[in-house]
Structure 1
Amino acid sequence: MLEPRRLRMLSQLRRSGTMASAARALGYSPTSISQQLALLEKEAGSTLFVAAGRGVRLTPAGVLLAERADAILDALDAAAREVRRIGETPVGRVRLSTFQTAALTALPDVAGVLRRHYPGVRLDVVHLEPREALDALARHAVDLALLEEYPGTPLPKPRSVLRRVVALDPLYLATPSGESARRPEPEARWVLEPRGTAARRWADATCRASGFEPDVQFESHDMTVHRAVIGAGLAHGFLPGLALRAVDDDRITLTTMSGDPARSIILASDRASAGDVACTTVGRLLGEMFTSPSTDPGAGPAVGE
């Protein structure tokens, strides 16, 4: 008997091309993926993939099984949704993709509500970048996704995905306390997200609009690192409101910028999950967590005032 979880790993490996990429997309370690796929080869009685440079290449048997796996997994997911629709009480597993600041804001409270009021719902969470999350939705690898969309960097809109904006998260110029920056300063050193991310593209464009290329000394996806570097007086940066929710950090001065830029927090779902009671319940709870309380941590005067 072929185990569905391992079939899903093989399907993802076919798309990703490397164990590391497949592991990241599914929320496992590369070692775990490798071990599970080795077991799948024993179940199938055939070699399914071979090493190819830094990645792997599926054998003809692996390609055939991966193609069949997609149809099998879609049918299993559809059956699970149909069974859950029979009852009015939310039950079953909901797979959520999210990003750091959204997870820190919403997950503890959502998980608490589910534990107290919907014990039949299991919430599995994976951290994916927005475009990876949209791909996972399209492949039914996740049921819901929290996405961030920065000004000027719109996300794709796959036809199979439903989406709604649950919050507008203000973006602030963040400087060490005591430094009176009124706009992005060319002389400053900066902490920004890595190149290739939507946040970095927006930050670079914002600095260029002020006439300079930022001197980036620190790069990190982690907003707690940004906050620590700015608070220590080592750099300037840009912080979203969610990164400062429930944090009273008097080491950082926040300044609103011209045009009041904000990123959109988007809740996306697979159209096939629209009638699923468990998915609808988790989606509703996530939406409520972002609409109350406000994400505004109390910034200083706007640039240009």
Structure 2
Amino acid sequence: MNVFKKGWYTEISDDWPGVAQSYEIEKEIAHEKSKFQDIQIFKSKRCGMTMSIDGAIQSTEMDEFAYHEMMAHIVLYSHPNPKRVLIIGGGDMGVAREVLKHKCIELVDNCDIDDKVTELSKKHFPHLTDIPLKDPRYHIMFQDGAKFMESKVNYYDIIITDSTDPTGPAVSIFNKSYYEKVFKALRPGGIICSQGESYWLDLDIVLNLRNIMKEVGFPVVEYSTIQIPTYPFGSIGCIIGSNAGSCKKPRRAMTKEEADSMKYYSKEMHEASFVMPQFFKKRFESEE
């Protein structure tokens, strides 16, 4: 649930009871309901253009780069020579923008179930969409991502799941069946990165994703923290399943052009993001 009242947008959710975040707004830009989701776009005085889906903020002009850079570059720099990338979700194209910075990439497929997110992003978030739309390596399609992967066995080097929280259409990509398809779609040495929720809010979900990734066959499962102020409690994470060993240190160096394009990601940030607070480390690394 969210509330517009006296010039403020307040984000309230049963997923984080007892806590709410508020943003002073300049104006509401758009409010549309697709077949799958309720999408709101408004301009915040502090955060700029903002997208909310089903009452939860997904992207703001102020800090979107933190999430999109880390979701893309942690796994891309952990792979020695990635060629083919699949993005499930991510219809705003922010992750795609980052993936396409890598000249070694030959193909980026982006599969999102909701074309309305992309339609609104093209109109109101051109800083996310302009680069992918001009790059011939990029292909976006609007269909169920799990079904799409069934025909792509042993095909991708990297699969990135850029989803909303596990509600609405995203529920189906937080289960074992989905990750079995992901595992089969990866080439030998392939790596998956999924939106991994926050250990402050969703520890049970994080641990469940860890267990699922191990059960389907990933020998290495790790968690990388992303600091992003407009998400509840100021952080989220990416959970990584790897067939290529640990992703805690990059395997490729950034070019100067790549490094100059970054606002958040760096080699140092890559490595530091895997350091966990003790309460979480004990749970994540246990066999529970």
- The TM-score bracket by the shorter chain reads under 0.3
Structure with greater proportional helix content: 1
TM-score, structure 2 normalization = 0.27
